Amino acid sequence: MMTGSTELLECPLCDFTVLPTDDYIIQLHFEQVHTTDSPFRIEDDPEDEHPPPLPRRPRTALSTTDAQLTPASDEDQNTVECPEPDCGESIPLSDFNEHLDYHAAESLSFDETTGEYRSKNRAKMHGPKPSAHHAGSSKPSFLEHNLNIELPDALRRHNDHARRSKKRGQRGRSDTMSSEKSTLSRSIQTFNPFAQPNRVKPPSSNCRLGRAELGPYAWEDRMPKWLHDQLAAGPKITLVNRIGRDGRLIKQESVQNETPGIIPILAQLSALDRTVKEAYYCHPSTLHIGKTPKEGGFCGYRNIQMLFSYIQGSRAQGHKDFPGRTPGILKLQDLIERAWDKGINTIGRQQTGGIRDTRKYIGTPEAQALFLSAEIDCAVQMFSDNRDGSIEAHDSLLAAIERYFAQAAVSDGSNVYKTLLPPIYLQQPGHSITIVGFERRRDGTGNLMVFDPMYSTSPAMHKLIGRKDIKAPRPEVLYAYRRVAKQLRKHAAFEILMLTAHPPLFPVWDVGSNPAPSDHNSTQH
Ligand SMILES: [Zn+2]
Ligand SMILES: [Zn+2]
């Protein structure tokens, strides 16, 4: 906002306005009304019962060793509830702009008459405001760049604010270069006696974790009944009429939150994109699996489901034990609890207090317990910034993912390698996604291609699915699936879980325009 402007400052999320001189008031309003876990927020959520907080510890007095010994407790975390009506997630303020960008990307559609892409501006935002440019502010976001929308000034300021508070709140990290990076709150490292414990602070292994690690519902005994019922009923399934390749009518099931057939489209779009030197993709049977309405943060389960969609669709190791539809979230919770019963990663039960019928976040330890218990071979690998800051976690991650795909790449004459490899579960601090490919760009950079369970498939992508003759590059559509170094760099650690059984060998990539036959796309003639 320019000095001397008579325009009122508006809250980006509601109708609250103040004079430009009162920008502190709007920050306070934002913290009180729209931010969870803020010290200014007045708690009155009856669902959110948890023990009274411990008295605040003086942060400045903590030395590194003290911090290591401090039991995990509920830390201040600046998170904001997403304003999208069907989202239901708590988003760290520092990720909020990016989160809204991806919501805009999921509404992307192609306007045939104008030949242009359109995206709904669904969060309440200000229109273009040329006076709001800051010297040194970050580059225009996806929204701003593609859709001529300026992100609200107050949000940017809150972003800076969040970064500052986070820096203040960091404990036990002497490495100043990465002091603002987020670390994994739950790691497989606690479970692995051979891991190097001094690289990333492991969570205390012998005590119950709190909201910092398990999310806003860390202390709930059970999720609300409406949500339990929604999950128990499973996603809505509709029958869609399609014309098959033989010209006959096919009735095909369409599952509310599942999208088959995306990977062959991404492979075509990578090939058409001149900034891409080489690209690799995993087995095309992998589905994108998103959320059902308002369910919130079940990303760990949704990514496990995406791995199961590969297992089922490619008839890989374990598929016989999981026939039919994708196993639901309540079933996955049951399988994890049963893995703990068998003695696999049981410390997860003490750390979470049990996950059955709750919304507590899960992580790599639970995913690993589930697959090991189901006798599906898997391996976990960890990436973290090294101590002197010379190697960053995201660089090692990108290199490992490229190697993973390159070892199975067989050239078909194009610069896009279509493999039969499984997708990979990727745990980032606070969120997990599924890696389905990798792009090496002509400028030397590399990026992941991912399915993010937080977002649904855009109408623009839905229109492309099934096509084999795409002619024009569509970077607007690829945007939702790319994760570039700039985005990954903010994290100081990652974990991946790979399925390690030999992938099935029969050809699947060139079987026509319909998705590969699989148990969950039952077709009837
Ligand atoms: Zn507001
Ligand atoms: Zn959201």
- Residue 386 has a CB neighbour count (10 Å cut-off) of 13
**Centroid of ligand 1 to alpha carbon of 28 (angstroms):** 10
Beta bridge partners of 508: none
- Over the Cα atoms of the chain, what is R_g? 23
Predicted pLDDT of residue 187: 83
**Centroid of ligand 2 to alpha carbon of 423 (angstroms):** 24
Looking at the CA of 18, name the nearest ligand.
1
Predicted pLDDT of residue 113: 82
Q: Which two tokens stand for residue 26?
A: 């709007």
Say which residue the tokens 């398990």 belong to.
Answer: 214
**298, 330 contact by CB (below 8 A):** no
**73 exposure class (CB count in 10 Å sphere: 0-12, 13-18, 19+):** middle
**Centroid of ligand 2 to alpha carbon of 442 (angstroms):** 32
**Centroid of ligand 2 to alpha carbon of 125 (angstroms):** 15
By residue count, the chain amounts to: 525
Q: Is 37 a catalytic residue?
A: no
**Centroid of ligand 1 to alpha carbon of 15 (angstroms):** 6
**Centroid of ligand 2 to alpha carbon of 455 (angstroms):** 8
- Residue 118 has a CB neighbour count (10 Å cut-off) of 16
**481 exposure class (CB count in 10 Å sphere: 0-12, 13-18, 19+):** buried
| Residue ranges per structural domain of the chain | 9-50+65-172, 259-512
Distance CA 457, CA 257 (A): 9
Q: Is 378 a catalytic residue?
A: no
Looking at the CA of 124, name the nearest ligand.
1
State which residues have CB under 5 angstroms from ligand 1, the bound ion. Answer: 11, 13-14, 16
Predicted pLDDT of residue 389: 80
Q: Which two tokens stand for residue 420?
A: 């039969």
Predicted pLDDT of residue 18: 75
**Centroid of ligand 1 to alpha carbon of 14 (angstroms):** 4
Distance CA 371, CA 319 (A): 12
**Centroid of ligand 1 to alpha carbon of 184 (angstroms):** 31
Please list, residue by residue across 91-112, b when 16 or more beta carbons sit within 10 angstroms of its beta carbon and e when fewer do: bbbbbbbebbbebbbbbbbbee
Looking at the CA of 82, name the nearest ligand.
2
Strands, E assignment, 370-478: 378-384, 416-418, 424-428, 431-441, 446-451
Looking at the CA of 103, name the nearest ligand.
2
Catalytic residue selected from 11, 87, 282, 299 = 299
Q: Which residues contact 125 (CB under 8 A, 6 or more apart)?
A: 12, 149, 150, 151, 152
Predicted pLDDT of residue 248: 83
| Ramachandran area for residue 320 (φ above 0: left; ψ -120 to 50: alpha; else beta) | alpha
**383, 494 contact by CB (below 8 A):** yes
Looking at the CA of 456, name the nearest ligand.
2
Please give the DSSP secondary-structure letter assigned to residue 389: S
Angle, vertex CA 167, rays to CA 164 and CA 171, nearest 5:
155
- Residue 240 has a CB neighbour count (10 Å cut-off) of 9
Looking at the CA of 81, name the nearest ligand.
2
ipTM > 0.85, yes or no = no
Predicted pLDDT of residue 190: 63
Predicted pLDDT of residue 132: 35
Q: Which residues contact 20 (CB under 8 A, 6 or more apart)?
A: 1, 5, 6, 7, 8, 9
User: CATH fold of 259-512, please?
Assistant: Cathepsin B; Chain A (3.90.70)
Catalytic residue selected from 82, 87, 452, 520 = 452
**Centroid of ligand 2 to alpha carbon of 123 (angstroms):** 9
Contacts 24+ apart (CB under 8 A), 235-244: 235/292, 236/292, 242/514, 244/514, 244/523, 244/525
**270, 276 contact by CB (below 8 A):** yes
Residue type, 179: S
Predicted pLDDT of residue 179: 52
**Centroid of ligand 1 to alpha carbon of 35 (angstroms):** 10
Catalytic residue selected from 288, 394, 431, 491 = 431
Q: Is 99 a catalytic residue?
A: no
Looking at the CA of 90, name the nearest ligand.
2
Predicted pLDDT of residue 39: 46
- Report the DSSP pairing between strands 237-243 and 431-441: unpaired
**Centroid of ligand 2 to alpha carbon of 60 (angstroms):** 34
Predicted pLDDT of residue 181: 83
Low-confidence stretches of the chain (pLDDT < 70) are 1-6, 23-24, 31-32, 34-77, 121-179, 190-206, 507, 510-525
**Centroid of ligand 1 to alpha carbon of 189 (angstroms):** 40
Q: Which two tokens stand for residue 331?
A: 């079933």
